[in-house]
Amino acid sequence: MRRVCGDDWNRAAPMLLTIAIILLFMFVLLGMDIAYAIGVAALGFIAMSQFADRPIDPVLFAQSMTNGVDSYALLAIPMFVFAGELMTKCGVTRRLINFAASLVAHRPGGLANVGITGNLFMAGISGSAVADAAATGSVLIPEMKRRGYSSRYAAGVISAAATMAPIIPPSIMFILLASIANISVGELFIAGILPGLFLYVGLILMSGFLARRRNLPTEPKMASRERWSAVRSGLLPLGAPFIIVMTKVLGIATPTESAAVVVLYTLALGVFVYRELSPSDFLAAAVGASLTTAVIMMTVATSQIFGSIAVLAGLGTMIQDTLLTLSQNPYVLFIIVNIALLMLGTFLDPLPLMLILSPILFPLMTSLGVDPIHLGLVMVLNLVMGMVTPPIGLNLFVMSRISGVGIIDVFLGGLPYYIVLWTCLIVLTYVPAITLFLPNLLLR
């Protein structure tokens, strides 16, 4: 063990950390607002450290909240949320679902195919799994029920398909992860494309397979004129991910700047092409996006205190030393990290988990030769899976509310798809080439 500080502190710090984490879990489960629960746990750590031999200055508490969100890279988040809200206001969800239907509704899998493909398109527009699940689910789940699908299957497939959202650019989680782990947002965005498509292929194959086995209905094939109009009106919104990718690949703008360009593009689309965006829609989208972001960033701000504490108290080195005594092989450590993240993710919100753990995991894994972009992708995929796994997951709650079945039923209904996602996770963990191929080809 490296000795970074006194023996007493080495013994006290893990104990204080354990107490802080127990406090965090307890308050979250008892219904304290998540941002507060993280803050209170961090404050608990600072308070207890006053009695140890390395007291932490409480000024750090207020200071790291402001410094933790004062970042140009994070500025992309409200703008991507804004663009997403504007898209929803001008009927893009419906158009994308129509577009998806024109491509896959007549193949085995029917509306489940539409749900998966629709979520793939939505993933390129918005950066949040919950937003995508809510948007596509509220359109498709009632429709699927009418066509004779069970509620639990309908909710399950949408909930699983929404996990593509944080993997395919834009992605709120990638922006946050990049800023905390000091890697390039643009590279993460580009790296997410192939794994996202990989998940898509897995999900759509499973949908076809289940449809044949369970004899699920397919939709009649659209007439070619109807089909053409669905493709035409569904293709334009996909200009947004195109802008994000091209500005990065050609080196024209940073992701933050491209987010602003995407807002402008969406605005032009809503006002001049679809003509569905009124000034009051515009204002409502801005207000909605600013409040949504404020709530997310509050969680980020309090999580950052934990990050600062971890550095100051030398917690990172302690956890790293413990993990390194277990194994020095990155592949073995990846298993441990995957299992730990999956388990923690089923209980806790992905954002705070990511913010608290990355300052510890990134130096450790990259020192063993793991590419930070690859680690970032694996980490985000893990945490998103936590959002769709019981007992606690934001996506499950949203799907349960829309479909009217319990969260366990949503989970069981989507179980075949979850098996696909878990398999993909293992493949993506151990075949870094899928993630790194595009960034290496285009950016390095």
Applying CB under 8 A, which residues contact other proteins? Answer: 27-36, 39-40, 43, 58-59, 61-63, 65-66, 69-72, 74-75, 78-79, 82, 130, 134, 252-253, 256-257, 259-261, 263-264, 283, 286-295, 297-299, 301, 349, 391-392, 394, 397-398, 401
Of 272 and 433, which has the nearer Cβ to other proteins?
272
The CB-of-188 to other proteins minimum distance in angstroms stands at 20
The CB-of-238 to other proteins minimum distance in angstroms stands at 21
Of 66 and 328, which has the nearer Cβ to other proteins?
66
- Residue 251's Cβ-count burial label (10 Å; 0-12, 13-18, 19+) is exposed
The CB-of-157 to other proteins minimum distance in angstroms stands at 19
182: left (phi over 0), alpha (psi -120 to 50) or beta: left
Of 352 and 372, which has the nearer Cβ to other proteins?
352
Residues 6+ apart with CB under 8 A from 198: 424, 427, 428, 434
Of 104 and 387, which has the nearer Cβ to other proteins?
387
The CB-of-294 to other proteins minimum distance in angstroms stands at 3
Q: Which two tokens stand for residue 334?
A: 């990846």
Whether residue 321 contacts residue 1, with contact meaning beta carbons closer than 8 Å, is answered with yes
Distance between CA 444 and CA 437 in Å, rounded?
A: 10
The CB-of-198 to other proteins minimum distance in angstroms stands at 28
Of 105 and 402, which has the nearer Cβ to other proteins?
402
Three-class HEC string of 64-90 = HHHHHHCCCCCCHHHHHHHHHHHHHHC
The CB-of-330 to other proteins minimum distance in angstroms stands at 34
Distance between CA 187 and CA 201 in Å, rounded?
A: 22
The CB-of-99 to other proteins minimum distance in angstroms stands at 25
Of 22 and 62, which has the nearer Cβ to other proteins?
62
Distance between CA 387 and CA 166 in Å, rounded?
A: 11
Of 161 and 296, which has the nearer Cβ to other proteins?
296
The b-or-e profile of 5-29 (16+ CB within 10 A means b, else e) is eeeebbebbeebbeebbebbeebbe
Distance between CA 417 and CA 411 in Å, rounded?
A: 10
